[in-house]
A and B are shown apart, each in its own frame.
Chain A
Amino acid sequence: MKALVAMSGGVDSSVAAALMLEQGHEVVGVTLKQWQAADGSMPTSGCCTVADAEDARRVAAQLDVPYYVLDHVADFRERVVEPFGAAYAAGRTPNPCIDCNRRVRFRTLLERTSALGCDVLVTGHYARVRNYDGRYRLLRGLDPAKDQSYVLHMLGQEELARVLLPIGEMTKPEVRDHASRLGLRTAAKPDSQDICFVKDDYRAFLRENFTAVAQPGRIVDTAGDVVGSHEGTIDFTIGQRKGLGVAFGEPRYVVELQPASATVVIGTRADMEVKGCRLEEVSFVAGDEPENNELAVKVRYRAAPVSASLENDAGGYVLRFHDPQEAVAPGQAAVMYAGDDVIGGGTIAEVVR
């Protein structure tokens, strides 16, 4: 088998490439050039930097596999960066990594995989793909601390048939040990945390590139009374408590953002609670919706799963939480699990109070 390995320059994808080789496959390494400054230069800090591409290139050389940098700048700008800004401008809290996976990595790159002469696409994500009699399942990564199945929930049967995630079968320490044993230069490289196309602070990036979110406006309470002012909705996230610039006896939290009118709505902890959420861009790993609609749901990447029921509503899907949830932010993904199995997921379109 010939594998196209998406190498970011980090330890996980480095080891993914090494594992494919050890399993006897042919490997072609690629790095996606996703973002560049206005002058065409690549970022020099954060993820996806020149140094990262160089690490990927050097690891590929060490593994003696061909390596290429693929230009996905226009693709990425159109499918990830523009929607990222548009989501904030609509008062949402987007997850650009999910958009990248949905629209670039497991879409355009996967479409190119065979054109590039390869049979499968391999990434360094912590999740597992299983094939049971021709039906593919997507499972949480073996390492609960690193599980990345949340950002892969959009993968369906067609994608999973052509995707391998070898790192999902290992823990992070095992991955680092393996990299050390092979003497890979990325063995001790710190994990990247940032959004790859944002240098330091995503707010500064948005202020520069999407001015709608940087308009000064009012802070109001849930009754609509003005209680303060702000310098742009971008400075706030749903559930935020600190830095509101207003004082009350009881703690206040951001419960809603309305960039169109430059309004930040704050409320009490009780005002944050939501009973459910309406989803869009819904997909199911199996292709069909599950028979059992009682599921465990993650509403943020780092949130613990909570119990919810999946219901059909007006041609779409609504998740009803068994217990009210706080800080459910439109734009984030809600991902449904049954045990270790990813059932599917979608983007939170609006909350149900």
Chain B
Amino acid sequence: MLYLDHAATTVVRPEVREAMAPFADEAFGNPSGIHGVSRRAKNAMEEARERAAALLGAAAPLEIVFTGGGTEADNLAILGAALAGGARRRVVTSAIEHEAVLESARFAERLGCELHVVGVDRYGRVTPRDIAAATGDETIVSVMTANNETGAIQPLAEIANAARGAGRGVLVHTDAVQAFISVEVTTATTSSDMISLAAHKLGGPKGAGLLYVRDGITLEPVIHGGGQELGRRSGTHNVAGIIGLVTAMEQSVSDREDFRRRVGGARNRFEEVLSAELDGLEFTVDEPRLVQHSHLRFPGVQSETLLIRLDQAGVAAAAGSACHSGAIEMSHVLAAMGASDAVAAESVRFSFGWVNDVADGEDAAKRVAAVVGELK
């Protein structure tokens, strides 16, 4: 199987598995305890928090809130900020956000917040001016670092500056879940007050993530209980997951230049060969985009049919998002870019990962071209 769906989730790195192993074994302790078994888990977790803070350029380790994944981090950022203190009453986000952000924002709206969902241009990019126009005082602005479907990198620093210039008490959140593996994401590069990450997109385990929250920001918790994470996220810590998350972050950062060269090379080779083999291929977005993403339209070929044929030919790719039953649903991202249903239904995402090299790109292109050729 040639797996080209690394944006959905990617292979766990061996360093991660190794780092996690003790915490599924003898270091099983609950960090919230007074004895030695707890202490060992607690120390490992707090050390991981320091490492995560350093990687993100955070001012203090306690700016890191460990969560049960990226979705939970997004929920905490938006709802936590929207509900805290009662002052912040407006949420501004973009139409191409992950559902974790969009649905949290809609939930905030149902709870009484004012919601503005800002559109994008035809290349799937959010315009800083549009964000500023929707932003007022005490607004939470949430725009992703790069889009998970198309790979389009957003002008986040400009968006953050424009938003802060449009009102007082503006908080900027970014979902950097898809971007972190190949794009430098720090508090400085994103100019953000809150950053969401998920371990499993980085070669870590599923079910672990974090929210960076700049010191001084008060969040209303969305998960209530024993008061872990300074009350911001209750629930017994997933210590193995946290260790896996931070190890995957470290590997991603130290590997980033190589990733961009090697995996980006695979993606570029894929697109080169595919363009040479097939007429009429359309690229959904232009630069800047994630080096690992290739989002393409094959005119005249239904993506659902293509994905099934590719699966049978040993190539795993994706389109839109899968619903509960497994059927493909119309992509809200492509719809926001102004694509018709027909165009969206012919679009496919190939996403490369840390295990790929340039030979995989060439191999993939040939296999995809062969299947598309049969379908045309």
A residues apposed to B, CB below 8 Å: 28, 31, 33, 40-42, 50, 53, 57, 66, 68-71, 73, 112, 115-117
Contact = CB atoms under 8 A, between A and B. Distances in A.
Interface stretch (B19-27, B220-228, B303-311): B303-311
Which of B302, B304, B312, B325 has most A Cβ within 10 Å? Answer: B325
A66 B329 contact: no
Contacts of A42: 323-325
Interface residues of B, number: 15
Contact of A53 (B308, B325, B328): B325
Given A70-B304, A71-B304, A117 B309 contact: yes
Contacts of A70: 304, 327
B326 interface: yes
29 contacts: A28-B308, A28-B312, A31-B325, A33-B325, A40-B329, A41-B324, A42-B323, A42-B324, A42-B325, A50-B325, A53-B325, A57-B326, A66-B308, A66-B311, A66-B312, A68-B311, A69-B326, A69-B327, A70-B327, A71-B327, A71-B329, A73-B327, A112-B305, A115-B302, A115-B309, A115-B375, A116-B305, A117-B308, A117-B312
B103 to A, nearest CB: 12
Interface string B348-371: 000000000000000000000000
A13 to B, nearest CB: 16
In terms of DSSP, what is the predominant structure of the interface of chain A? mixed
A68 B304 CA distance: 10
A94 to B, nearest CB: 26
Contacts of A33: 323, 325, 327
Nearest to B311: A66
Given A40-B329, A70-B304, A71-B328, A116 B323 contact: no
Contacts of A50: 324-325
Contacts of A73: 327
B347 to A, nearest CB: 14
A193 B325 CA distance: 22
Contacts of B323: 33, 40, 42
Contacts of B305: 112, 115-116
A257 B305 CA distance: 43
Contacts of A66: 308, 311-312
Interface string B276-320: 000000000000000000000000001011001101100000000
Contacts of B326: 53, 57, 68-69
B88 to A, nearest CB: 29
Nearest to B371: A117
B368 to A, nearest CB: 14
A40 B304 CA distance: 18
Contacts of A115: 302, 305, 309, 375
Contacts, number: 44
Which of A31, A40, A69 has most B Cβ within 10 Å? Answer: A69
Which of B309, B312, B329, B375 has most A Cβ within 10 Å? Answer: B312
A40 B308 CA distance: 22
Contacts of A40: 323, 329
A42 B326 CA distance: 11
A42 B305 CA distance: 21
A53 to B, nearest CB: 5
A42 B302 CA distance: 22
A116 B308 contact: yes
Contacts of A112: 305
A344 B88 CA distance: 69
A50 B324 CA distance: 8
Which of B302, B308, B312, B329 has most A Cβ within 10 Å? Answer: B308
A134 to B, nearest CB: 27
A9 B308 CA distance: 20
A194 B271 CA distance: 49
A68 B323 CA distance: 12
Ranked nearest first, the 6 interchain pairs of A and B with the lowest CB-CB distance are A69-B326, A69-B327, A33-B327, A71-B327, A53-B325, A69-B325
A274 to B, nearest CB: 43
A68 B329 CA distance: 13
Given A70-B304, A71-B304, A116 B325 contact: no
A117 B306 CA distance: 10
A240 to B, nearest CB: 37
Contacts of B308: 28, 66, 68, 116-117
Contacts of B375: 115
A25 to B, nearest CB: 14
A235 to B, nearest CB: 33
A70 B305 CA distance: 9
A31 B329 CA distance: 15
Contacts of B327: 33, 69-71, 73
B68 to A, nearest CB: 24
Nearest to B312: A117
Contacts of A69: 325-327
B316 to A, nearest CB: 12
A69 B326 CA distance: 6
Given A40-B329, A42-B325, A71-B327, 6 more contacts: A28-B308, A53-B325, A68-B308, A68-B326, A71-B328, A117-B308
Contacts of A116: 305, 308-309
Nearest to A112: B305
A28 to B, nearest CB: 7
A316 to B, nearest CB: 37
A71 B321 CA distance: 12
A66 B309 CA distance: 11
A75 B4 CA distance: 30
Contacts of B302: 115
A227 B304 CA distance: 56
B305 to A, nearest CB: 5
A43 B205 CA distance: 33
A28 B305 CA distance: 13
B87 to A, nearest CB: 32
A71 B328 CA distance: 7
Nearest to A41: B324
B362 to A, nearest CB: 23
B326 to A, nearest CB: 4
A42 B311 CA distance: 25
Which of A42, A57, A116 has most B Cβ within 10 Å? Answer: A116
A41 B325 CA distance: 9
